[in-house]
A and B are shown apart, each in its own frame.
Chain A
Amino acid sequence: MYALADCNNFFVSCERVFRPDLEGKPVVVLSGNDGCVIARSNEVKALGVKMGAPLFKIRDLVKQHNIVCFSSNFELYGDLSSRVMRILSHYSDRCEQYSIDEAFLYFDDNRSPANLQKLARQIVVEIRRGIGIPVSIGLAPTRTLAKVASKYAKKYAGYKGACLIDTEDKRIKALSQFEISDVWGIGRRYSTRLQRASIRTALDFANQSSEFARNLMHLPGLRTWQELNGFDAVKVDELARHLTITRSRTFARHVTDLPTLESYIADFCSSCARKLRQQKSVCAGMLVFALPSRFETILPSSGVLVDEQKATLTGGGGIFAEVRLPVPTDLTAELLEYALAALRARFVGGYPYKKAGVILQNILPANSQIERLFGERDRQKEQRLQKVVDSLNEKRGKNTVILASQVKTEQMKDKLQSRMLSPCYSTRWSDLITVKC
């Protein structure tokens, strides 16, 4: 049996741990630079504020309903996340952290499902009391079903934090009321295709033939289909490796010159590459984009654009470059070379850029690197250099050693608009909460 433990409105909940006065009040957390909403409390969701909404578009609502806004404080969220993960790992030898606020736990079969549900409810209480974070747990024979169950646990208080799908009846009932677009692994692109084939619920999809799933969505689709039908099909190492790595930013002020844009791209490349090395993978392709303000919302997070969108973009000064790397790599400098070359080739002056980013794609396990013997680059040497840089940054703080092209954004960081940043209550001696005596 799998359990998916998912923290509710995690970033908002983190802020509330040290601000209990904000329980029950509308709260949002904003992206870096305070551009967009990246976490919403239930009260804010009820007001109809969508994930990713730009702050300037909801200013009136914020005022009208006294929505409390926070800049994102990843030091705080990271610390509370690791506390939650440590508690979860007490309960299972196989605890796979999936994201900052989610983890899969595996339980073998010597416990009855009813007992597991009881245990899950205990875990929910323990984390809620001990750390202050509300958690929902879904229990089911596969990870995909456990995810479905966790959504029900979150939605209906009657489950007391833990929902169990252990029988065929429950599986069918749960899937029949579950929108296909909300199923783990389906994604926006496939859900429109599925809806066109009048597949609306998870059950509609699960009841198709396996060939249907495979033809439409290849191997990942087949896996999702299997998982929804109760067969454990997702592999752990695939789980850990994210399919794409995205770093992007909406700028507080328009960027019009190439050097500043380059510096941002360098920042994104460096951060993406660090993530890539952390998860021990390499990538064979990437997208580099920069969008003038009127196209700000055009790019979906996965970076998949249809041809007409691409045409509109590039016609209006938008930069959208698909880069294929000759050899899969995880080296910051190498990724950056290609990214900057692509950017420079497409940059036309005169457009006010509002958003830019880098999306790494075609991510493979690092051991599949076939290159080492080929090419003019001395990769071993570069890898040694990269290791030294990484360890320095790990020891002395994130940006101790940076690429020269990042200097400009580094200088601007002092001016970064994080005006609503909360203190790092749980990680810095200077930021502890104060108790009145």
Chain B
Amino acid sequence: MEPTIYSITPSADEHVEGILAEHLHAGFPSPAADYTDEKIDVVRELVRHPETTFYARVDGDSMLDAGIFSGDIVVVDRSRLPHDGDFVVACLDGEFTLKEYRLDPSGKCAWLVPHNAKYEKIRVSEQNSLIIWGVVTHNIHTLSGDR
């Protein structure tokens, strides 16, 4: 015998009523009934590869002109190979940083490019310890949150 304790929670009740209502009305079935499963799921849209997706909090203003502000949350997919022009989370000399990733046409080095005139771009060559940790796919910037 199953314990009955679940049925007294409000959410379960609503659910049961919903199902019952659908089946008890004997008249014309709702044409929308087949479509009710569809819902917009933001996570599904933003996260292609859930296994390899992580989130990170932004601290600093070097990417302001790209629309990435301090306090924003970025979505990082580690399964993607970084391409020229991707925004990446890199680990440079032991610290995580977010920048635009640029390959030098010479092929001898790469650049981590800030989007704020206040900052210099960073040249990365074989002498530096650089790990491209993941490619930033989205930025979540809150305009007006919970009040």
Contacts and interface: CB of A to CB of B under 8 A. Distances in A.
Contact of A83 (B52, B70, B114, B131): B52
Nearest to B72: A437
Given A129-B79, A384-B1, A388-B5, A437 B58 contact: yes
B57 A437 contact: no
A83 B5 contact: no
A129 B3 contact: no
A19 to B, nearest CB: 9
B66 to A, nearest CB: 10
A20 B57 contact: no
B57 A130 contact: no
Given A21-B94, A126-B79, A434 B3 contact: no
Interface stretch (A289-297, A354-362, A410-418, A425-433): A425-433
A436 B59 contact: yes
A387 B6 CA distance: 12
Contacts of B73: 432
A130 B52 contact: yes
B89 interface: yes
Contact of A433 (B51, B56, B68, B114): B56
Contacts of A429: 55
Nearest to A433: B56
A87 interface: yes
Contact of A434 (B61, B79, B96, B99): B96
Given A388-B5, A437-B68, A437-B70, A432 B56 contact: yes
A309 to B, nearest CB: 45
Interface residues on A, range: 20 to 34
A435 interface: yes
A436 B97 CA distance: 5
A131 B60 contact: no
Interface string B18-36: 0000000000000000000
Contacts of B98: 435-437
Contacts of A425: 54
B1 A433 contact: no
A129 B54 CA distance: 13
B51 A83 contact: yes
Contact of A388 (B3, B55, B62, B131): B3
Query: In this complex, which of A130, A131, A425 has the most chain B Cβ atoms within 10 angstroms of its Cβ?
Result: A130
A435 B1 contact: no
Contacts of B5: 388, 391
A254 interface: no
A387 to B, nearest CB: 6
B78 A437 contact: no
A435 B78 contact: no
Contact of A20 (B62, B68, B91, B114): B91
Given A129-B79, A435-B96, A86 B51 contact: yes
B56 A387 contact: no
Contacts of A113: none
Nearest to B58: A437
A436 B2 CA distance: 52
B95 interface: yes
Contacts of B52: 83, 87, 130-131
A86 B70 CA distance: 33
A437 B61 contact: yes
A54 interface: no
A132 interface: yes
B101 interface: no
Interface string A383-404: 0100110010000000000000
A128 to B, nearest CB: 10
Interface in A58-91: 83, 86-87
Nearest to A387: B3
B29 to A, nearest CB: 34
19 contacts: A20-B94, A20-B133, A21-B91, A21-B94, A86-B51, A132-B78, A426-B54, A432-B56, A432-B57, A432-B73, A434-B56, A434-B59, A435-B57, A435-B74, A436-B59, A436-B60, A436-B98, A437-B63, A437-B114
Listed from nearest, the 8 A-B pairs whose CB atoms lie closest are A437-B60, A130-B52, A21-B94, A130-B79, A20-B91, A435-B96, A435-B98, A83-B51
Interface of B: 1-3, 5-6, 49-52, 54-63, 68, 70, 73-74, 78-79, 89, 91, 94-99, 114, 131, 133
Interface of A: 20-21, 23, 83, 86-87, 126, 129-132, 380, 384, 387-388, 391, 425-426, 429, 432-437
Given A132-B133, A437-B63, 9 more contacts: A86-B50, A87-B52, A432-B56, A434-B56, A434-B59, A435-B57, A435-B96, A436-B97, A437-B99
